[in-house]
Amino acid sequence: MTVNVTTPTNTPATPTTTPTPPTGAPATPAKRSRDALAVFGGAPAVPRRLRSLEWPVITDADRQAVLATLDGPLVSNVNGESPVSRLEQTWAARCGVDWCVGTSNGTTALTTALAALDIGPGDEVIVPALSFIASGLAPLHQMAVPVFADIDPVTFTLDPESVRSLIGPRTAAILPVHLHGHPAPMDDLLALARRHRLAVVEDAAQAHGALYRGRPVGSLGDAGAFSLQVTKNLPTCGEGGLLVTDDAELARKARLVRQFGEVIEAGKDRDYVSYRLGWNSKLSSVQAAFTLSQLDRFDGYEAAREEQVTRFLGRLAGLPGLTVPTVAEGSTHAWHILRFRLDPAAAGLDGITPGAFRAALHRLLRAEGVPMSRYQLMPLSDQKVFAERLGFGNGQPWAAAGDDGPARAVAAPVTRQVIDDSLTLQKRHLNPGAGPALDAYADGFEKVWNNLPDVLRLARGYSNE
């Protein structure tokens, strides 16, 4: 389908802040009807009452659980039964592993895992170019060098072929990220790791409960790291993290790393001796108690999300030029973030770039009350801290690794394309009662797609994007 547009008659109601202001107008005169785009004065598709959806959902049970911790020991290094140890046991069982170590956040779960695996100066860790900054910072915190690999265009997780091309003599580990809740291709990555004797630390910060060939993510590599940060699928009332592993020795080292290198054992007095380099990355009882209480409802929330997101994506799947997220065979998706790819040519819109199409849709959908946003504005490799080798200063840790040339170039073309041509839906759909809002979001998408001539007109104003 090709859409032709003539005679602009009006300007959008909301001024734009993006480089080239749109000069277009609705193909039909704007009227405050349900058909006219909200940006041109029509009634928004998403009514006000569906605009705010709380996450996390906090119940009286959560409040009681947190309050009860005030009657117990307040220090977070209790060496026996505590909310932290109960959460650790519960999450380990749920992941099907023997050990879980609570940490102060998801980033410290990653760094603790890397430290316990003795990854440090001189080592390289392969990380996907599309992820949250913490996935790339974690190796750096250990003075190891992150090397960024490209991603798969459909699952947005590590491309094993790109990983393979980057393995060199200094490679010590692969850090697959189960981005947005979709499992990374662990069979291929684990095979590469075995062949080259590399450690595998899974970043499962966004993927609680997702399964890969029937096994929970986080339990497939040497260690897995989860975030309990308040926006995550399994949240705490603030910051927290969980490290899981089936390796008793790795778990023992992780507990040392978590607390100043000290050995803390139930029934034994603390000796205040540092047996290895450690940090203070403990999880507090308040945080653990809140998450334990949330875990009672986690399965129900997951089931509601699966049903609602599936229905939502089903409604959008037929819109031309919109690629909805899918699930690879053998995996389940935690649906933490929904990423939609956008193709103007497939929508029948000629002469505009994917970036311009994305910018126009971003504005139009938000005006309709559909809270679309971008997730990551650049590949991790372009972040100043890596690209300019800011690190610890003086070019460290790259210099310590004997790597004093320009940063190892990673073109990451797929990552760049995905960042340019996609929008995401975050957080709102996590609430188990999000069904009516998702239905209204789908109305908003359909309405915008019913007005493709206006999309084209607006997109032309974003031609520099």
Ligand X SMILES: Cc1ncc(COP(=O)(O)O)c(C=O)c1O
Q: Which residues bind ligand X (CB under 6 A)?
A: 105-107, 131-132, 134-135, 177, 203, 205-206, 227, 229, 239, 241
Written as six digits, the tokens of 42 are 């029509």
Place of tokens 């932290």: 84
Q: In whole angstroms, how close is the CB of 331 to ligand X at the nearest point?
A: 17
Contacts of 206 (CB under 8 A, 6+ apart): 132, 177, 178, 179, 180, 181, 227, 232, 233, 334, 336, 337
Give the nearer residue to ligand X in terms of CB position, either 103 or 451. 103
Q: In whole angstroms, how close is the CB of 427 to ligand X at the nearest point?
A: 11
Written as six digits, the tokens of 283 are 């999880």
User: Beta 223-227 vs 199-203: how paired, if at all?
Assistant: parallel
Give the nearer residue to ligand X in terms of CB position, either 225 or 316. 225
Give the nearer residue to ligand X in terms of CB position, either 239 or 403. 239
Place of tokens 């265009």: 153
- Cβ–Cβ under 8 Å, residues 289 and 68: yes
Q: In whole angstroms, how close is the CB of 226 to ligand X at the nearest point?
A: 8
Give the nearer residue to ligand X in terms of CB position, either 110 or 361. 110
> In 3-state terms, what secondary structure has residue 301?
helix
Give the nearer residue to ligand X in terms of CB position, either 243 or 414. 243
Give the nearer residue to ligand X in terms of CB position, either 152 or 203. 203
Give the nearer residue to ligand X in terms of CB position, either 42 or 128. 128
Q: In whole angstroms, how close is the CB of 159 to ligand X at the nearest point?
A: 17
DSSP label at 431?
Answer: S
Concatenate the DSSP letters of all residues of 222-281 into one string.
SEEEEE--TTSSS--SS--EEEEES-HHHHHHHHHHHBTT----TTS-------S---B-
Query: 248-258 and 106-116 helices cross at what angle (nearest 10)?
Result: 120
Give the nearer residue to ligand X in terms of CB position, either 232 or 457. 232
Q: In whole angstroms, how close is the CB of 80 to ligand X at the nearest point?
A: 26
Q: In whole angstroms, how close is the CB of 104 to ligand X at the nearest point?
A: 8
Give the nearer residue to ligand X in terms of CB position, either 100 or 455. 100
Q: In whole angstroms, how close is the CB of 261 to ligand X at the nearest point?
A: 21
Place of tokens 């970043």: 203
Place of tokens 């997951």: 302
Q: In whole angstroms, how close is the CB of 34 to ligand X at the nearest point?
A: 37
**With 0-12 CB in 10 A as exposed, 13-18 as middle and 19+ as buried, what is 22?**
buried
Concatenate the DSSP letters of all residues of 136-193 into one string.
HHHHHHTTPEEEEE-B-TTT-SB-HHHHHHH--TTEEEE--B-GGGPPP-HHHHHHHH
Q: In whole angstroms, how close is the CB of 156 to ligand X at the nearest point?
A: 11
The C-alpha atoms of residue 179 and residue 206 are separated, in whole angstroms, by: 6
Q: Which residue is nearest to ligand X (CB)?
A: 106
